[in-house]
Amino acid sequence: MNKQLQRRDALAALAALAVAPLARAQAKPLDKFTVAGWSKPITEVTPLLVDEDKGFYKAQGLALDYVPGAGSADAIRNVLAGQADVAFSDAVTFLAAVDKGEKLRAIYDIYPQNVFNVVALKSSGITKPSDLKGKKVGVYSLASGTRQNLQVLLHQAGLAEGDVQVQVTGVLNFAPLLQGQVDATAATDTGLAVGRRRGLGEVNVIEVGKYLPSSSDLFVVREDVYQQKKALLARFLLAYRNAAAWMIAKPEEAAQLATKRAIDGSDPAVNLEIIKLRNASSVSDLTRKQGLGTIDIASLQKAADAYRQLGMLQKAVDVKQVVATDLLSGL
């Protein structure tokens, strides 16, 4: 009997030794990773909000944190100040920062489709960019992509920002338009969808993508972070790509989770509409061939050249020098 007990104890000890490395691996602390957003934690950034439920980032050994902002310029500032690892930034703000001498890299194309527009009530008679001359036009913030893309539209009509009265109306806010405080407002496709559900009524929509089809948003990092933390960044991109793919495959589940994770997510039907729009903007012919997040360098170069012509950039930007594609190559 004693020998049997001894043999059982020995087997138990061996089993414990075999499990110990796994337990140590499971107990390894997660690496903190911070995303600087352009917005508060809203439904359209659901892939960054549901790790407690889905564990995409934990699976890559990351403890994800989200720092809100009021426009892409806030996101870029937070990255430059070392408050975040990666910025969720529109393309214009990223290129403008590079133009000013900031050492930055774009590493992932979040939305290869242009999602910006300018919206006016049917009664306004505003149907094309030239109609905006002398009008009051709302933007989310002076640091947001709505402002820069408004400038793109104005340029199509030979106008400058000074030819309109720009007013800050806040994110997803069409109340000033309905109340007559502005004649038109710059927005995104998701902002328009929410506005329509809230009784916006019949409107004219001028889509920026018809004038400049290009990426709306990118993940951007400091050059030194790109050079020194490639493995960490690759883990984040893999996690985000998996989260984005999940939202595309299961939009209904994402819409339900957004009800408890997004500050604007109380209505799952609205969430689903927003999520479907974001899913559509996350794919392109290029990403269908090469995977989510693939940056279309040629398209981004055309956008950079257009921004230079607009006077939004003071010098030419060679996009190939400020884009990194190697982090996605092994995913």
* Averaged pLDDT, 37-56: 97
Q: Which residue has the higher pLDDT, 145 or 163?
A: 163
Q: Show the beta-strand stretches assigned E in the chain.
A: 31-36, 62-67, 86-90, 104-111, 116-121, 136-139, 165-168, 184-188, 203-207, 217-222
Q: Which residue has the higher pLDDT, 128 or 5?
A: 128
CB 143 within 8 A of CB 76: no
Mean pLDDT for the chain overall: 90
DSSP 263: T
Least confident residue range of 22-26, 81-85, 159-163, 294-298: 22-26
Give me the half-sphere count of Cα atoms (radius 13 Å) on the Cβ side of residue 115.
Answer: 28
- In the CATH scheme, what is the code of domain 116-210? 3.40.190.10
* Averaged pLDDT, 13-27: 43
Tell me the per-residue pLDDT of 299-326, one tens digit each, with 9 for 90 and over: 999 999 989 988 889 999 999 999 999 9
Q: Which CATH class is domain 31-113+215-329?
A: alpha beta
Tell me the per-residue pLDDT of 263-274, one tens digit each, with 9 for 90 and over: 999 999 999 999
Helix (H, G, I), strand (E, B) or coil at 118: strand
pTM (two decimals): 0.84
Q: Residues of CATH 3.40.190.10 domain(s) within the chain?
A: 31-113+215-329, 116-210
Tell me the per-residue pLDDT of 199-230, one tens digit each, with 9 for 90 and over: 898 999 999 999 888 999 999 999 999 999 99
